[in-house]
Amino acid sequence: MTFSLLLDCDPGLDDALALLLAHGDPNLDLVAVTTVGGNVSLEGTTRNALQLREYLGFHDVPIAAGAAGPLTGPTRDAAEVHGASGLGNVTLPAAVLATSDISAVDLIIQTLQAAPGTIHLVATGPLTNIALALAKEPRIVEWAASFIIMGGSYTRGNTTPAAEFNIYADPDAAAAVFAAGWTVVMVGLDLTLQAVVHAGIVERMHTLGTLGVDLVAPLATFWTNPLDDEWDGQALHDVCAVAYLARPDLFTTKPARVEVELTGTFTRGATVVDFHSAAPNAIVLTKVDVEGFWDYVHEAWANVNV
């Protein structure tokens, strides 16, 4: 079974590895990429997406640039995690091909409208582009075959004690997206932190040849948290969202009602997850088969030659 997807992203170490998975898995058909300001500026995330397209070889996939900052409030980045460029220490050749001449919002709408019910929308950055697309064309809710996000958590945050980065970076967009009437598949921190890149995984990455040594392992090991005594490796958050599309059998899920906190002094951007709601608006991933996940991801990445 093949799944077509549009990936809205902010590469970003783990966004880059999510793009690699979407390109490498023969059961995934990456039909379009849209970029958003997030981990680094929009200029940076778009440059990274363009460079990755040529380095990894998905030249036919259109890339459109979207929102530079959130619907309201300050623009935040995560350059302390992803490095100034967004790709850690990895330097890729400059891209020759440019972005599409339409905006990310229009590429999202047009791509979903062209094949209703068949293209999955996966978002691994702040949800600004998706909120703007919903405002312009609410029917994308019906056209998307499914909608998966990496974002939020049901315990605690990573940017503030309460909020995860993608939601914190644009809480108003996230609130609009959860209220849109579709079922949001939420791949949050509680899930993604179960599969961290420990030493054994890095060793395995090195068996991927040039791709592993020059791209995958450096991206997957760039960040270490000096404040975490139990640090065992980076989580590849966004990879989990793409993996769920291809291999839902590797994950446990629970229906829930998810609301985004917008006004709390200390909790703005938190996702409040009610697993007992009679009116669920989301499916929340709670558990991953860690070994099966790494086997799957490794095999899919291994299909790509650079």
Q: Give residue number: closest CB to ligand BDR.
A: 165
With CB under 5 to 8 Å by kind, the binding choice for 81 among ligand BDR, Ca ion, none is ligand BDR
Q: Is 8 in the site for Ca ion (CB under 5 A)?
A: no
> Which residues sit at the interface with ligand BDR, rule CB under 6 A?
12, 14-15, 39, 78, 81, 124, 150, 158, 164-166, 237-238
Choosing from 23, 206, 237, 276, the catalytic residue is 237
Catalytic residue flag (residue 59): no
The interface with Ca ion within residues 198-257 (CB under 5 A) comprises: 238
Which of 5, 7, 12, 244 is the binder for Ca ion (CB under 5 A)? 12
| CB closer to ligand BDR out of 87 and 140 | 87
Which of 70, 125, 126, 171 is the binder for Ca ion (CB under 5 A)? 125
| CB closer to Ca ion out of 125 and 171 | 125
Only one of the segments 74-82, 125-133, 190-198, 261-269 lies at the binding site for Ca ion (rule: CB under 5 A); that segment is: 125-133
Q: How far is the CB of 78 from ligand BDR (least distance, A)?
A: 4
| CB closer to ligand BDR out of 16 and 143 | 16
Q: Buried b / exposed e across 109-130, counting CB within 10 Å, b at 16+?
A: bebbeeeeeebbbbbbbbbbbb
Q: How far is the CB of 236 from ligand BDR (least distance, A)?
A: 9
| CB closer to ligand BDR out of 16 and 92 | 16
Catalytic center residues: 237
Q: Which residues make up the interface to Ca ion (CB under 5 A)?
A: 10, 12, 15, 124-125, 238
